[in-house]
Amino acid sequence: MTLPPRAVLVHRRTELTELLERHGTRGQASFFLSARGRNIEDVAARHHSMNWAMAVTAGAVPDHWRRASVERTELPRFTFEPRDVIVVVGQDGLVANVAKYLEGQPVIGIDPEPGRNPGVLVRHPAESAAALLASAASSGAGSSISELCMVQAKSDDGQELVALNEIYLGHSSHQTARYELTAPGDSPETQASSGVIVGTGTGATGWCQSAWLERSSQLKLPEATERRLVWFVREAWPSPATGTKCTQGELVANEVLNLRVASDQLVVFGDGIESDAIMVNWGQVVEIRVASQTLRLVR
């Protein structure tokens, strides 16, 4: 007997919930916020918006479906199933948080606060959840799904991670990162910098765009569904031993950006989550490329 689909609602605790856990009472939380020039009513309004969106979305799940709910901090311990339909209720960043744990399951982004979030990945109001769930579960769902490119990093000792926005390699304490960089078609160059960012089209609206604007780059930033990456070296330092000729570029198809570590303990992390990182040391090699997996986002 085939099991029915399972709707997995992904969310994160609201600021009000965290304040009440920390301060115990609403009055104490209100005092804490007022001392910092903030109003608890604004925080409470966002809390209620989130709860309303969660309730509407949960109510839209068909009765015969299975269902589960997972909070952001529980994602590393949660087991996703092949037939799951993932429903992210929250900010765009929460979609990126969940993306690396998936293997082709469709993702629906629900915006609990339309007009406040950019809505790049959480594109839909809660009222659309029923129609989106039906579309995601249908046999012809492929026509309503965007395949968003992801980026992969893999070290020579088998450590691996993927990310939806970007991958960063550098020093965890913002000291100078030292490494040898080899880009497709170029000779190796020893560099000292603030690190290297490799981003997708989705990430091109964030950190990569900042680096792109800062240097007035002529590179064309990729679209979210384009299987192409762009990379930038942050603040490369010229010296007799380190160069600055190879500081930006793109990766397509099976091209690889190769980085050989030349200092102690550099860190490689994705989408700003430094707690889930690859640690690499002197002499180790990290390869960064277009990931084989994509994020299947329901339009």
Query: Which residues, in sequence order, are CB contacts of 264 under 8 Å at separation 6+?
Result: 281, 282
> C-alpha 168: how far from its chain's center?
12
Task: Name residue 120's amino acid.
Answer: V
Res 141: pLDDT: 55
**CA–CA separation, 282 vs 58, rounded Å?**
49
Low-confidence ranges of the chain (pLDDT < 70): 1, 139-143
16 DSSP assignment: H
Domain locations in the chain?
6-138, 149-292
Distances (CA, A) of 214 to 51, 119, 170, 171, 207: 39, 25, 19, 21, 11
pTM, two decimal places:
0.89
Res 287: pLDDT: 97
CATH topology match: 6-138 vs 149-292: no
- DSSP string covering 194-236: S-EEEE-TTGGGTHHHHHHHHTT--PPPPPTTSSEEEEEESS-
Query: Which residues, in sequence order, are CB contacts of 125 under 8 Å at separation 6+?
Result: 110, 111, 114
Helix, strand, coil percentages, rounded to 5, for the chain: 25, 35, 40
Q: Please answer whether residues 107 and 75 qualify as being in contact, where contact means their C-beta atoms are separated by less than 8 angstroms.
A: no
Res 177: pLDDT: 94
6-138 CATH, one of 1.10.3470, 3.40.50, 3.30.70, 1.20.1740: 3.40.50
Res 143: pLDDT: 59
**CA–CA separation, 54 vs 50, rounded Å?**
6
Res 119: pLDDT: 82
Cite the DSSP H helix spans in the chain: 15-23, 26-34, 40-59, 92-99, 129-137, 207-214
Chain length of the chain:
299
Res 142: pLDDT: 56
Closest CA to 219 of 236, 201, 235: 201
Q: Please answer whether residues 68 and 79 qualify as being in contact, where contact means their C-beta atoms are separated by less than 8 angstroms.
A: no
- Scored b (16 or more CB within 10 A) or e, 44-72 reads bebbebbbebbebbbebbeeeeeeeebeb
Structure tokens at 143: 């026509």
**Architecture of the domain delimited by 149-292:** Sandwich (2.60)
